[in-house]
Structures are given as C-alpha cells and as structure tokens.
C-alpha cells in the first residue's frame, strides 16, 4: 500500500508531486474538486461525483482537460495502484498555470491533480455516541453549490470547532436558517420525519445527501426538503451530518444544547444501514 498522486498524465509517489508556483489554484483558489471514497476496491457513487464535477466546471467556465470517462479510468487505476482496503481520492482541477493576473487566457489548459490515500479512520465512539457541533454565522459566498477549492471560511470555522473539541461547525444564515457544516450536510429527524435543507445555491448538494434521499424515498420514509430554523434544529429528536468521508455521523450536542435524549437515535441507525458495511 502506498500513497500516490496523479499529476496531469503521470502517477508518482505522493511526496514527489508538486505544482508550479504560477498554478492558479495556488494563486487564486481558481479550481474545483471532488472527494470520493472507494469501498471493496471500487469508487463509491463515482458517476454522481463526476456529474457534479462537470456542473462545477461549467459554473466557473472551466474546460476539463480530459473527459470524465478518462478521469474515471485514472481513478480506477489509482485505487488499484495505491492498494488501500478503502481509499480516499482527492481530485482537483485548477484553471491552469499562467503568470499571475486576475483574468485568464482563453486557451489556458487546466491542471488535473489527484491523490490516493487511505480513507480516514474515525474513533468508533463518534459513531456509537455521537459528536458535538457548534453554530457559526454564514460568512461564505452566494454560490456554495459549486465545489470550489476556495474554502477559507470553511477552514476558519472548522478550526474553531476543533479548538472547542467539536466535530463540525454549522453555518446559520443571518435570518436563522440552517445551511450545512464546513464539510458535511445536515439532517434532522422530528416525529419520525427526515428533514434537510433544500439543494440550492446556499449549500453543496452532497453526493451522500442525495444518496440518502434516494434510499429514503425507495423505503417510503417521510422526507421533507425545506429551510429549517436553528431554533427548530435544537428541538429535533435526532440530528446527523453526512459526507463522503464519514458517510453519516450522529450529532448529540449543538452549542450547549443536547439533541433529543443525547444519544444517537433509531432513525439515524436506520439511515446508517443504507450504506454498504465498512
Ligand atoms: N466535503 N458540504 C460541504 C461544504 C462539503 O465540503 C462537503 C464534502 C459536503 C458533503 O458532500 P459529499 O456528500 O458529496 O461528500 C457538504 C468533502 C468531503 C471535503 O471537502 O473534504
């Protein structure tokens, strides 16, 4: 097993990979990304991730350097080469390399970067006992649906959460609506109904979020996508967060408020069962 990188057209050991100083990803965070995990040697929900990559690229007028079919092949090869039981594939496409100037040339060629590492492990108590999160003001831009590498507000707030011993920070709008966490979507359960904020420009439409919604519909669970206030969130029976890296993690504390009875609940367990066993 080995951590590896893929840079434009070549696989190499991760610590040998570097990008040019004039890469616009480095200079301006002018790029988009995806985080994909593999299970049993195969990328999980790959088509959905590549479709979102295409949407993000179109939204910032970035021409992908190669087709998504070609990207898919590289991902499958990389997973095999790296050889981890479960890997985490980070895929970033930057606008390209050019002397620093805010606008870019029409013929600039995008750079493709990928890394293949072991999927991160989380302490099992986080899943069995749940985690705490904090609420923070929404300070991001108005296109959070684009999976952009410009993540400074997310980083500032995640760091704040971690420094307070919490797992995540939840962005709450000035009007009091819950949005999403710095790197995860949020769900709540009230009277056996599953709620999550709608997929609009205020949040990233998580691939894990969509997967859960599809499965929940297939199983005829009560499900509502709507804006929910922070006050209502605090009165929920159960809360959980979702992302490709964690699948689903129960939340039992928000700021100083205990969620439900302070333990992960039955609906959370039922949704967790949608995922293939790790
Ligand atoms: N982030 N919202 C935000 C802001 C995110 O950054 C992420 C994922 C999600 C969940 O999306 P998905 O289910 O497609 O992973 C929601 C990845 C994991 C990251 O930045 O590392």
CA of 211, closest atom in ligand 1: 13
Same domain (yes/no): 252, 140: yes
Containing domain of residue 267, as a range?
A: 124-272
CA of 244, closest atom in ligand 1: 15
Show which of 81, 101, 118 is a domain's final residue: 118
Same domain (yes/no): 87, 131: no
pLDDT in tens, the chain (278 residues): 999 999 989 999 999 999 999 999 999 999 999 999 999 999 999 999 999 999 999 999 999 999 999 999 999 999 999 999 999 999 999 999 999 999 999 999 999 999 999 999 999 999 999 999 999 999 999 999 999 999 999 999 999 999 999 999 999 999 999 999 999 999 999 999 999 999 999 999 999 999 999 999 999 899 999 999 999 999 999 999 999 999 999 999 999 999 999 999 999 999 999 999 76
**Distance in Å, CA 270 to ligand 1 centroid:** 22
115 lines ligand 1 (CB under 6 A): no
pLDDT at 278: 66
Q: Which of 147, 171, 177 is nearest to 157 (CA)?
A: 171
> What's the rounded Cα separation, in Å, for the pair 63 and 56?
10
Show which of 92, 118, 144 is a domain's final residue: 118
Same domain (yes/no): 263, 190: yes
Same domain (yes/no): 42, 143: no
The answer to whether position 277 is within a domain reads: no
Nearest CA to ligand 1 atom 3: 183
208 lines ligand 1 (CB under 6 A): yes
pLDDT at 191: 96
> What's the rounded Cα separation, in Å, for the pair 30 and 22?
11
CA of 207, closest atom in ligand 1: 14
**Distance in Å, CA 204 to ligand 1 centroid:** 7
Q: Catalytic residue positions?
A: 147
Q: Which of 68, 37, 38 is nearest to 53 (CA)?
A: 68
Same domain (yes/no): 194, 253: yes
Show which of 118, 135, 156 is a domain's final residue: 118
245 lines ligand 1 (CB under 6 A): yes
206 lines ligand 1 (CB under 6 A): yes
Neighbours of 7 (CB within 10 A): 16
pLDDT at 277: 78
Same domain (yes/no): 155, 193: yes
Question: What backbone phi and psi angles, to 5 degrees, belong to 73?
Answer: -65, -40
Number of domains in the chain: 2
pTM of the model: 0.97
184 lines ligand 1 (CB under 6 A): yes
Q: Which of 155, 146, 71 is nearest to 114 (CA)?
A: 71
Q: CATH number of the domain that 266 lies in?
A: 3.20.10.10
Q: Where are the alpha helices (DSSP H) in the chain?
A: 24-28, 46-59, 68-82, 124-129, 152-163, 207-218, 230-234, 266-272
Nearest CA to ligand 1 atom 6: 183
Q: CATH number of the domain that 102 lies in?
A: 3.30.470.10
Query: Where does residue 63 rank: exposed (0-12), middle (13-18), buried (19+ CB within 10 A)?
Result: middle
The answer to whether position 278 is within a domain reads: no
Query: Where does residue 123 rank: exposed (0-12), middle (13-18), buried (19+ CB within 10 A)?
Result: exposed
């Amino acid at each position: 097993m080995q951590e590896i990188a893929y840079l434009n057209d070549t696989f190499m050991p991760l610590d040998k990979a570097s990008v040019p100083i004039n890469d616009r990803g480095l200079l301006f965070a002018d790029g988009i990304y995806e985080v994909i995990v593999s299970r049993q040697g195969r990328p999980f929900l790959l088509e959905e991730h590549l479709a979102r990559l295409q949407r993000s690229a179109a939204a910032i007028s970035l021409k992908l350097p190669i087709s998504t079919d070609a990207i898919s092949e590289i991902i499958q090869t990389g997973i095999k080469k790296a050889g981890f039981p479960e890997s985490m594939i980070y895929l970033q496409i930057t606008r390209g390399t050019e002397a620093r100037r805010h606008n870019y040339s029409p013929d600039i060629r995008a750079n493709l970067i990928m890394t293949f590492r072991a999927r991160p492990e989380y302490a099992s108590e986080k899943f069995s006992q749940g985690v705490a999160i904090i609420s923070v003001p929404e300070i991001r831009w108005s296109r959070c649906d684009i999976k952009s590498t410009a993540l400074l507000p997310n980083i500032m707030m995640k760091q704040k959460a971690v420094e307070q011993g919490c797992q995540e920070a939840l962005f709450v709008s000035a009007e009091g609506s819950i949005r999403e966490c710095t790197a995860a979507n949020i769900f709540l359960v009230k009277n056996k109904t599953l709620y999550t904020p709608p997929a609009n420009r205020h949040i990233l439409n998580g691939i894990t979020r969509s997967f859960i919604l599809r499965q929940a519909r297939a199983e005829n669970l009560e499900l509502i996508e709507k804006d929910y206030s922070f006050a209502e969130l605090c009165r929920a029976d159960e809360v959980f967060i979702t992302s490709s890296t964690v699948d689903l993690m129960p939340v039992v504390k928000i700021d100083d408020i205990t969620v439900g009875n302070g333990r992960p609940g039955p609906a959370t367990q039922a949704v967790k069962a949608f995922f293939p066993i790790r």
